[in-house]
């Protein structure tokens, strides 16, 4: 099986009260798992079957005949990345190399926060808000549905899931509150620094 469901990098109750155990049970145990199961069904017996996940995402992107494969494989990639972007006791201003890079490329942490929240709030319908490295510069981008910036040549450093299933049990329709909590309480800057390195 090329596509696997990784364990969460922390216990299911570790992000409470900001993201509840119930949300992680459904989000990881049902939604993420379904993308893994469906992706494996769709690649079985095809030329994608034995490739690594990132290659499957790249090869299926933009090919209408492989839309199902792309949607499921990219959602697996995105969720696996998203879990690592959070940690208990995370959030707040960054440290390390990313702090200097954010100051240089955004003109300050507050501007970065404003742009990330704005991307998340204005993504109409389901999708993702990302911090990426694009041509050596930090940039905030948003993608719809399963979209992933690697297919546009960008390097993801941080992502927040703005599909309703990511926050509805805890925040109902209040996506801006979920985004503010992600920024203030959850971001794993150590992971972001490791991606930047
Ligand atoms: Mn999700």
In a domain, residue 92? The reply is: no
Residue 75 is assigned to a structural domain of this protein: yes
* Of the candidates 132, 125, 112, the residue with the CA atom closest to the CA atom of residue 161: 125
- Same domain for 101 and 79, yes or no, is no
**Ligand 1 centroid from CA 163, angstroms:** 6
pLDDT of residue 45: 95
pTM of the prediction? Answer: 0.97
Whether pLDDT at 196 is above 60:
yes
Same domain, residue pair 189 and 135? yes
112 Cα: distance to centroid of ligand 1 (angstroms)? 23
Beta-carbon count within 10 A of 112 CB: 23
The strand pairing partners of 130, in sequence order, are: 141, 159
Question: Using an 8 Å Cβ cutoff, are 83 and 8 in contact?
Answer: yes
Q: What is the CATH number of the domain that holds 111?
A: 3.55.40.20
Does 32 score more than 60 pLDDT? yes
Asked if residue 2 belongs to a domain, the reply is no
Ligand 1 centroid to 166 CA: how many Å? Answer: 5
Residues 77 and 101 in one domain: no
Regarding whether 129 and 75 lie in a shared domain, the answer is no
The partner residues of 156 in beta bridges, in order of sequence, read 132
CA 195 – ligand 1 centroid, Å:
21
Judgement on whether residues 77 and 124 belong to the same structural domain of the protein: no
Is 171 found in the same domain as 136?
Answer: yes
Residues 132 and 79 in one domain: no
69 lies in the same domain as 136: no
Shared domain check, 191 and 109: yes
Structure-block tokens of residue 65:
């005949």
CA of residue 76 to ligand 1 center, whole Å: 9
CA of 107 to the centre of ligand 1 (A): 30
The rounded Å distance from CA 74 to ligand 1 centre is: 11
User: Given this model, what pLDDT does residue 1 score?
Assistant: 57
Instruction: Tell me how many domains the chain contains.
Output: 2
Residues 68 and 109 in one domain: no
Four-CA torsion 23, 2, 127, 136, nearest 10 degrees: 120
Q: Is residue 89 part of a domain?
A: no
Cα 104 to middle of ligand 1, angstroms: 31
Q: Are residues 115 and 179 in the same domain?
A: yes
Q: Residue 99 class from Cβ within 10 Å (0-12 exposed, 13-18 middle, 19+ buried)?
A: middle
Domain hosting residue 129, numbered range:
97-196
CATH of the domain at 31: 1.10.287.990
For 38-88, the pLDDT digits (tens) are: 999 999 999 999 999 999 999 999 999 999 999 999 999 999 999 999 999
Distance, CA of 125 to CA of 106 (rounded, Å): 26
Strand partners, 134: 137
Are 42 and 33 in contact by the 8 Å Cβ rule? The answer is no
Pair 162, 120 in one domain: yes
Each residue of 178-187: pLDDT tens digit?
999 999 999 9
Q: What is the pLDDT of residue 80?
A: 98
32 C-alpha to ligand 1 centroid (Å): 7
Which pLDDT value is given to residue 2?
Answer: 82
97-139 tens-digit pLDDT: 999 999 999 999 999 999 999 999 999 999 999 999 999 999 9
**pLDDT, tens digit (0-9, with 9 covering 90-100), for 127-172:** 999 999 999 999 999 999 999 999 999 999 999 999 999 999 999 9
Q: Which residue has the tokens 């990426």?
A: 132
């Amino acid at each position: 099986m090329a596509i696997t469901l990784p364990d969460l990098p922390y216990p299911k109750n570790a992000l409470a009260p900001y993201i509840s155990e119930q949300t992680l049970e459904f989000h990881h145990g049902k939604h993420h798992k379904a993308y893994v199961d469906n992706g494996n069904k769709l690649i079985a017996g095809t030329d994608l079957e034995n490739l690594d996940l990132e290659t499957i995402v790249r090869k299926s992107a933009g090919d209408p005949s492989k839309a199902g494969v792309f949607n499921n494989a990219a959602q697996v990639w995105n969720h696996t990345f998203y879990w690592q972007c959070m940690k208990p006791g995370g959030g707040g201003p960054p440290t390390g190399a990313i702090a200097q890079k954010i100051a240089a490329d955004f003109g300050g942490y507050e501007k970065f926060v404003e742009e990330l929240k704005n991307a998340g709030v204005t993504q109409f319908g389901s999708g993702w808000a990302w911090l990426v490295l694009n041509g050596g510069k930090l940039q905030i981008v948003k993608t719809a549905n399963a979209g992933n910036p690697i297919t546009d040549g960008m390097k993801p450093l941080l992502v927040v899931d703005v599909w309703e299933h990511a926050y509805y049990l805890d925040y109902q329709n209040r996506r801006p509150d979920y985004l503010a909590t992600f920024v203030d309480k959850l971001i794993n800057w150590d992971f972001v620094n490791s991606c930047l390195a």
